[in-house]
Amino acid sequence: MRIWQIEHLGEGPFLAQTTTPQPAAGQALVRVEAVGLNFADLLMRDGKYQVKPALPYVPGMEMAGTVESLGPGTLGPAPGSRVLAYVGQGALAEWVCAPADRLLPIPDTMPFDHAAAFPIAYGTSHLALDHKARLQPGERLLVLGAAGGVGLTAVEIGARMGAEVIACARGAEKLAVAQAAGATILIDNDTPDLKAAFKALGGVDVVYDTIGGEMGEAALSALRPEGRFLTIGFAGGTPPQIRANHLLVKNISVMGLWWGGYLNFAPDVQDASLRQLLAWYAAGGLRPHVSHSLPFDQVPQALDLLAARKSTGKVVITRS
């Protein structure tokens, strides 16, 4: 079978051949139909992600496909089941052996590209807004990086939870995508004085920060007393510098959220969240936005789209 492999940090993946794996006890063999790409794939490639796999490794953190077989004595979705999974790494292969207990059946109405785009982006936003920040109907939510893979789901889920959503993204095209997902107030990243623009909003209750740096610091200043600042990622390159005395004076909470970490210390929380999200999808309540769908042999081009910030929502790799 074909796999994409990274041999050296900082270098792109190359296409290689290997034998099709056989599932061990507790595993399922999945024919991979689609793989969702994430900004974290770029960070992992460059050795800047919190998880540093041993080299060489196969990239790809989330996937969707069809169960082909189960390992000896393994209980799990029956062969033929359509499933999605978060695997952390290794998804960019034609077949993957994954822990059977990580596979979630997907709705009949869900195409594989939507399923592959689903776990990390929607899971991150739902846990952050619901489990961590306890976002309430009528509150104001400011999303930084609102047209990206994770930020766009925060807009959509925040609107579904009854919040007034303010989207910050670069350019009219990306802001239009955020508006279609449920944002009602739009702010361009290139606004000359973002801090003043955020303060002019009259206060927000929750900030969802995927960018970090000076933009995150500017958004922090817009929080109302007892506001919650969610630090999700640092696509801008650096974390925001947060002064503890500002948190004290304004009674503000800063909350970190690494969705993948829940698999290690609270997998039941992660699983319940994903099942809720899949139920919302099945009921027509969520609409994943896949701006680019590329075939398996174009993984380097797909990663370039992410690196150049040319995508909105998700970039997905399909089997053919």
Alpha-carbon separation of residue 30 from 19, 22, 88, 182 (angstroms): 14, 10, 15, 35
Q: Give the Cα separation of 167 and 64 in Å (integer).
A: 29
Residue 219 lies in a domain: yes
Nearest CA to 97 out of 51, 58, 123, 127 is that of: 58
Residue 112 lies in a domain: yes
Residues 109 and 228 in one domain: no
Residues 31 and 158 in one domain: no
Q: What is the pLDDT along the chain (320 residues), one digit of tens a residue?
A: 999 999 999 999 999 999 999 999 999 999 999 999 999 999 999 999 999 999 999 999 999 999 999 999 999 999 999 999 999 999 999 999 999 999 999 999 999 999 999 999 999 999 999 999 999 999 999 999 999 999 999 999 999 999 999 999 999 999 999 999 999 999 999 999 999 999 999 999 999 999 999 999 999 999 999 999 999 999 988 999 999 999 999 999 999 999 999 999 999 999 999 999 999 999 999 999 999 999 999 999 999 999 999 999 999 999 98
Residue 134 lies in a domain: yes
Longest dimension (CA), the chain: 62
Q: What is the CATH number of the domain that holds 94?
A: 3.90.180.10
Domain boundary among 259, 277, 302: 259
Give residue 320's pLDDT: 85
Say what the alpha-carbon torsion angle 46, 47, 48, 54 is, to the nearest 10 degrees. 140
What single-letter DSSP state applies at residue 163?
P
Residues 93 and 169 in one domain: no
- CA 47 to chain centroid, in Å, comes to 19
Q: What is the CATH number of the domain that holds 159?
A: 3.40.50.720
Residues 220 and 164 in one domain: yes
Total count of domains within the chain: 2
Burial 44-62 (b: 16+ CB within 10 A, else e): bbeeebeeebeeebbbbbb
Residue 46 lies in a domain: yes
Residue 187 lies in a domain: yes
Residue 279 lies in a domain: no
Residues 110 and 151 in one domain: no
Residue 210 lies in a domain: yes
Nearest CA to 247 out of 210, 221, 208, 215 is that of: 221
Instruction: Pinpoint the alpha helices (H) of 56-136.
Output: 112-116, 119-126
Alpha-carbon separation of residue 300 from 72, 137, 211, 258, 303 (angstroms): 36, 41, 23, 26, 5
Residue 277 lies in a domain: no
What is the residue range of 15's domain?
2-118+288-318
Residues 209 and 243 in one domain: yes
